[in-house]
Structure 1
Amino acid sequence: MALPPKFAGQAIVSGPIPQTVHTLELYLDYVCPFSAKMWKTLSDNIFPKLSQQYPSKVRFILRQQIQPWHPSSTLVHEAAAAVLKVAPSKFVEFSTKLFEQQKEYFDVNVVNEARNETYGRLAKLASSVGVQESEILKLLHVSDQPGKDGSLNSGNGVTDDVKLMVKANRLTGVHVTPTVLFNGIEEKSISSSFTAEQWNEWLEKNIV
Structure 2
Amino acid sequence: MALAPKFAGHKLSAGGAADTKHTLEVYLDYVCPFSAKMFKTLYATLPPKLTSSTAPYSRNLQLIFRQQIQPWHPSSTLTHEAALAVLKISPQHFWPFSAALFQRQTEFFDVNVVNERRNETYARLAKIAGEVGVDEGKVMGLLRISEKPGGGGELNAGNAVTGDVKQIVKAARVVGVHVSPTVFFDGIEEKSISSSFTAEQWEEWLKKNVV
Q: Normalising by the residue count of structure 2, what TM-score does the alignment of the two structures yield? A: 0.89
Give the letter aligned to residue 22 of structure 2: H
Which consecutive residues of structure 2, in runs of 5 or more, have no partner in the other structure? 3-17
CA contact (8 A) 1:46 1:196 kept: no
Which amino acid is 1:40 matched to?
Answer: K
Which amino acid in 2 is paired with 1:31?
V
* Distance in 2 between residues matched to 1:26 and 1:170, nearest whole Å: 14
Q: Distance in 2 between matches of 1:118 and 1:21?
A: 40
Q: Which runs of 5+ in 1 are unaligned?
A: 3-17
**Is it true that 1:66 corresponds to 2:69 in the alignment?**
yes
3-state SS of 2:46 partner: helix
Match of 2:97 among 84, 94, 97: 94
Residue of structure 1 equivalent to 2:176: 173
- 1:52-77 deviation per Cα after TM superposition (whole angstroms, max 9, x unaligned): 11121101100000000111000000
1:40 corresponds to: 40
Deviation at 1:122, TM superposition (A): 0.4
Aligned to 1:7: none
* Distance in 1 between residues matched to 2:149 and 2:37, nearest whole Å: 41
Query: Over aligned residues, Cα RMSD in angstroms?
Result: 1.0
- Structure 1 Cα separation of the partners of residues 136 and 58 of structure 2: 35
Following the alignment from structure 1 to structure 2, what is the Cα–Cα distance between the partners of residues 156 and 150? 15
Aligned length: 193
Residue 184 of structure 1 corresponds to 187
Name segments (4+ residues, structure 1) moved above 4 Å.
none
* 1:19 CA drift (Å): 2.6
Could you say which structure has the larger radius of gyration?
1
Partner Cα separation in structure 1 for residue 115 and residue 27 of structure 2 = 29
- 2:205 maps to what in 1? 202
1:150-161 map, 5 Å: 150-161=153-164
Report the CA distance between 1:47 and its aligned residue.
1.9
* Paired-residue identity, %: 66
Q: Distance in 2 between matches of 1:20 and 1:128?
A: 33
> Quick one: distance in 2 between partners of 1:149 and 1:47?
48
